[in-house]
């Protein structure tokens, strides 16, 4: 460890209550050193000053949504399959959601975190089924080491029933977030149809599209304030996403890294695009063909980063299993059935290191 890095220990946190209320509060209080609760063991630190950090940024495959809707669909489906197989991520451009809708969502999310703590903490709860939750870290009730992140989670479906529970401040949050949720849900359905086709499945024979019409939708607005010692912590630990697909909207501050060919590489945002990644449910459904990969978020000492992750999947009541047509003698079943209750049990019992739910669902093949 460099002698220039000073680690706070003991009772240097002004109080346990302070970090339980989130990193935005600590940043607003002018904290100069990362509290010990946030300091990762040396082997788990991001090493942002190491030679590895000098590796080129990762240029994800780019999928032009317009091509999925036109005469180049066949080639676009091939590109989609390649991205899901070899990267687990892609950037989606020309997606058709108006810039005004996405800009309003990022802006209102930023303004939510700028409100006084007395307003934000109204939505603090340990209930993972609550329609709205404000919190910090990854799972602040279980994490041995906290991460440098505050979040606002909104369950989005069925929207008419849930909207009245969402924060009423900022005054335009409900309208902006509801419009954004509806637009991303419609986009998601079109992408799912393309993914089903790219897997060689006949969507008329698969019940997946019908299930997805009433599928789950969760929106997470993430706030990563400037961190005085970004070498010591992360904004999000390595994890894979529960769900079928995640559509990530982010500002222009870099932070997302994915584990690609055993190296952590930074994803450079394309303005106006979505970063889309394969979730655990899609890897299970595709019987391992499409990959849900580990990713993490780095923080920095100068800029606040805002992102909006939309996690969409089957209904919470569904059982997820590999598509029957994708199980063959040469590609036997690779995953057990799973459901939302199983995932909740896993999250409640696990710490924040390498949160890969798929490991618990894999079938060991002889």
Res 7: pLDDT = 34
Closest CA to 362 of 294, 288, 297: 288
Per-residue pLDDT of the chain (366 residues; tens, 9 = 90+): 333 333 333 344 444 555 567 899 999 989 999 999 999 999 899 876 554 445 557 789 999 999 998 899 999 999 999 999 999 999 999 999 999 999 999 999 999 999 999 999 999 987 878 999 999 987 676 778 899 999 999 999 999 999 999 999 999 999 999 999 999 999 999 999 999 999 999 765 567 888 899 999 999 999 999 999 999 999 999 999 989 999 999 998 999 999 999 899 999 889 999 999 999 999 999 999 999 999 999 999 999 999 999 999 999 889 999 999 999 999 999 999 998 778 777 766 655 455 567 888 888 675
- How far out from the chain centre does Cα 18 lie? 25
| Per-residue pLDDT, 282 | 96
The answer to whether residues 106 and 306 touch, using CB atoms and an 8 Å cutoff, is yes
pLDDT at 352: 45
Placement of tokens 């997820």 in the chain: 320
Model pLDDT, residue 48: 60
Buried b (16+ CB within 10 A) or exposed e, 32-45: ebbbbbbbbeeebb
Whether 115 contacts 24, CB under 8 Å: no
Residue 119's pLDDT is what? Answer: 94
- Rg from Cα positions in the chain: 20
The encoded tokens of residue 175 equal 């309208």
Is the Cα torsion angle 219, 271, 196, 338 positive or negative in sign? Answer: negative
The CATH classification number of 16-355 equals: 2.60.120.330
Strands 89-93 and 274-278: antiparallel
Q: Tell me, what's the pLDDT at 340?
A: 78
Residue-range domain boundaries for the chain: 16-355
């Amino acid at each position: 460890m460099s002698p220039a890095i000073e680690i706070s220990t003991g009772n240097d946190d002004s109080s346990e209550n302070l970090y339980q209320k989130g990193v935005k509060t600590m940043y607003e209080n002018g904290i100069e050193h990362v509290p010990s609760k946030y300091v990762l063991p040396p082997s788990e630190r991001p090493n942002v000053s190491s030679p590895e950090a000098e590796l080129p940024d990762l240029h994800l495959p780019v999928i032009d949504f317009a091509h999925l809707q036109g005469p180049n669909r066949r080639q676009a489906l091939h590109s989609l399959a390649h991205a899901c197989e070899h990267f687990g991520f892609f950037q989606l451009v020309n997606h058709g959601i108006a810039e005004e809708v996405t800009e309003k969502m990022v802006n209102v999310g930023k303004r939510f975190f700028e409100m006084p703590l007395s307003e934000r903490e109204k939505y603090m709860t340990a209930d993972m089924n609550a329609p709205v939750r404000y919190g910090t870290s990854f799972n602040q009730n279980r994490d041995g080491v906290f991460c440098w992140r505050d979040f606002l989670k909104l369950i989005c479906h069925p929207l008419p029933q849930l909207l009245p529970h969402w924060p009423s401040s900022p005054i335009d949050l409900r309208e902006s977030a509801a419009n954004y949720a509806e637009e991303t849900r419609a986009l998601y359905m079109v992408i799912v149809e393309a993914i089903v086709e790219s897997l060689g499945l006949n969507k008329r024979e698969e019940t997946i599209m019908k299930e997805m019409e009433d599928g789950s939708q969760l929106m997470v607005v993430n706030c990563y304030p400037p961190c005085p010692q970004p070498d010591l912590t992360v904004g999000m630990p390595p994890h894979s996403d529960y769900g079928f697909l995640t559509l990530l909207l982010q500002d222009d501050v870099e932070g997302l890294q994915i584990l690609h060919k055993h190296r952590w590489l930074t994803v450079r945002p394309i303005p106006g695009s979505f970063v889309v990644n394969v979730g655990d449910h899609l890897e299970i459904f595709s019987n391992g063909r499409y990959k849900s990969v580990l990713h993490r978020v780095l923080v920095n000492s100068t800029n606040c980063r805002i992102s909006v992750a939309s996690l969409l999947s089957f209904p919470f009541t569904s059982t997820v299993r590999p598509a029957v047509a994708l199980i063959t003698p040469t590609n036997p079943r690779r995953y057990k059935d799973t459901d939302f209750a199983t995932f909740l049990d896993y999250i409640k019992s696990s710490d924040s290191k390498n949160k890969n739910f798929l490991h618990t669902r894999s079938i060991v093949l002889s």
